[in-house]
Structure 1
Amino acid sequence: MNDLDLMEKFRADVAPPDPAALARARAGMFRAEPAPRRRWVWRLAPVAALASVVAAGVTVVALRGPDSPPPAPEAVRVLRLAAAEARRDPVLPARPDQYVYIESRVAWAGATMVSPDNAQYIPPVEKNRRIWLSVDGTRDGLLDEQAVRPSEAGRDTIHRNTPLPVQGTPIPAYLRNLPTEATAMRNWLYAGTGATKEGGNPPDVTAFVKVGDTLREQYVPPASAAALFEAAATIPGTTVVKQQVDLAGRRGIAVSKVHHATRHDLIFDARTYRFLGEREVAQEDAAPFPAGAVIGWTAQLQVAVVDKAGQRP
């Protein structure tokens, strides 16, 4: 088994929270156990007192626990600017028989078991990724991935072209029915979070992670993307990390949330505030990850609508 296989089989821990996440799991988001791989590994924390947050004239209800501070003003500002940027985008027209095409660069760390109680960290393997998913969810899709890794010969290229057959109830990749208003979107982000289960994420963390899950490999129309960022601006405990870059090397600024030993970043362009991708970083030594290790990293490069699977825009 090579490093890429080990990486992709690592950390099957949390089920996806909503049908959209299930769709991406069904489509083979991160082979071979896609749904758990997509979930950022954050663990139990206190939940649930009631507070209100007012940001740029929009009032929404925020759920906070005693150890969950309000969002940092700068985090609110970045997310509101990202919302304004998203709202200016033109809507991509799409017929039900077409495909959402997303090109990205991704890298996920992994681990291999050295002994029953000792896992060894495997650094991220970078992959160029292209995926075609049915607009209305009724047609088979396609995943094309290429990874380059060091080897004794210098560099090995691993290429995979994987059909993605429809399974079960069709779930669209073009999200026409998401809320377009911040309060309704916040309710959607928190829907089903409920009380924290043992070993699971608290509602604020689940809601924050769901933002990235929603944007990663689906098409979110501009009004809904703007509402998504406006709603994210109300999630407690967020901060800003400056001087970031995404996996494609683009200069960014991150809105971040830390839970236990892990920091999850939503990265935006430092000048335009357009969404660029995500990053997950170990904040301290927590086996198998050493402090500062990158656990996951993504860069969204292109989103388009095409006529058939395998077609490039």
Structure 2
Amino acid sequence: MTDLDLVEQFRADMPPADPATLARARNRMFREDGGRAPARRSRWVWRLAPAAALAAAVAATVVVAARPHHDPAVTSDAAQVLRLAAAEAGREPVLTARPDQFVYVDSLVAWAGASMPANTADKATYQPPVEKDRRIWLSVDGTRDGLLREKAVHQADAGNKLVLDDVPLPVQGNPIPAYAGNLPTDAKGMRDFLYTGGNSKHSADSSAWTKIGDTLREQYVPPASVAAMFEAAATIPGTSVVHQADLAGRKGIAVSRVEAGTRHDLIFDATTYHFLGERDVVVSDEAAPFPKNAVIGWTAQLKIAIVDRAGQLP
């Protein structure tokens, strides 16, 4: 029996964990050594794209074959956090929506940048992230124009305060539904989805890991698919646990993966294992011009809802 078979049967074979069991798991997760010597992290090599271009990079895709199901680089602690997150996600109520409605997502976001000098002999300059309050309305079936409302929350230079009023998001090309109701609901099918359409500049595992955040960030994914996604994520190699990972004032625990000197965190609530958002942290000089230990990007999902029109608050 493969690891994925075990993952698929994780919640089917066992009743939901009782509070005492969850408490024991949380205590173990927040011990600095996780109850054993730290797992040795594998090294992976890929070229870091400028942070300002990360969102656009998702569009350049190729089909990538999935890795074998079993890989010892998947640490047991990381897999356990993801499976607890899957169990939590599966208990969420389903939001229903009509095709003519909108998915509303309220989040805090911050992305660093790198300004490229006119003289190619000079080095790029690091630009610290600016925290923004981002609210977006996207069409459930993808056929109606959406809306973006974004403003800076903290700005070092008050004279450069960024405020964006209503920015229309017209439909372009083929409709892209914001209600992702057709995603797989089993771990094997979801793993195939994560490993399809990866970025050719990154490793297959890195692309699959990044696709989790890309999928959850600004669309509605039903609970069964979210649960399957975290179950499938537990099989991606090279992950580890960050025991203390605060995000937007909320205490969390992260499952992380390192590539080219940058650690990408998926952060979960430290008590309920509800998904909170993502964070990118520089862990070595390999990610220059971004300085070591800098948080160069994060997204904190605050609320997701279904509303009748763009601009309407739930």
Per the normalisation by structure 2, the TM-score is 0.77
DSSP 3-state at the match of 2:128: strand
Contact 2:149 2:165 in 1 (8 A): yes
Q: Aligned pair in 2 of structure 1 residues 163, 181: CA closer, same or farther (>3 Å)?
A: same
Name the CA distance, whole Å, in 2 between partners of 1:215 and 1:253: 18
Matched, 1:104 2:107: yes
Matched, 1:133 2:138: yes
- 1:149 alignment partner, one of 127, 150, 155: 155
Deviation track 1:221-266 (CA, whole Å, cap 9, x = no partner) reads 00000000000000011100011111x1100000000012111000
Q: Aligned pair in 2 of structure 1 residues 203, 245: CA closer, same or farther (>3 Å)?
A: same
Contact 1:244 1:252 in 2 (8 A): yes
1:257 aligns with 257
Name the CA distance, whole Å, in 1 between partners of 2:182 and 2:66: 30
Contact 2:66 2:204 in 1 (8 A): no
Identity fraction in percent: 61
Deviation track 1:242-299 (CA, whole Å, cap 9, x = no partner) reads 11111x1100000000012111000000100000000001111232111011111110
Name the CA distance, whole Å, in 2 between partners of 1:279 and 1:232: 16
Contact 1:101 1:133 in 2 (8 A): yes
DSSP 3-state at the match of 1:70: coil
User: Structure 1: which 5+ residue stretches go unaligned?
Assistant: 1-6, 19-46, 52-60
DSSP 3-state at the match of 2:172: coil
Name the CA distance, whole Å, in 2 between partners of 1:95 and 1:152: 42
Matched, 1:83 2:126: no
Contact 1:263 1:283 in 2 (8 A): yes
2:8 aligns with none
Contact 1:102 1:303 in 2 (8 A): yes
Name the CA distance, whole Å, in 1 between partners of 2:56 and 2:313: 34
2:125 aligns with 120
DSSP 3-state at the match of 1:253: strand
Deviation track 1:75-112 (CA, whole Å, cap 9, x = no partner) reads 10110010000000110010000000000000000122
Name the CA distance, whole Å, in 1 between partners of 2:258 and 2:173: 35
Name the CA distance, whole Å, in 1 between partners of 2:55 and 2:307: 32
Deviation track 1:108-137 (CA, whole Å, cap 9, x = no partner) reads 001223442311111100000000000000
DSSP 3-state at the match of 1:125: coil
- Give RMSD over aligned pairs: 2.4
Matched, 1:275 2:275: yes
DSSP 3-state at the match of 1:188: helix
Quick check: which one's strand share is greater?
1
DSSP 3-state at the match of 2:188: helix
1:191 aligns with 196
Contact 2:52 2:114 in 1 (8 A): no
- The count of residues paired between Structure 1 and Structure 2 equals 260
Name the CA distance, whole Å, in 1 between partners of 2:66 and 2:93: 39
2:10 aligns with none
**Which range moved further: 287-296 or 124-133?**
287-296
Partner AA of 2:156 in structure 1:
P
Is the radius of gyration larger for structure 1 or structure 2?
Answer: 2
Name the CA distance, whole Å, in 1 between partners of 2:55 and 2:309: 32
Offset at residue 204 of structure 1 (A): 0.6
Contact 1:10 1:111 in 2 (8 A): no
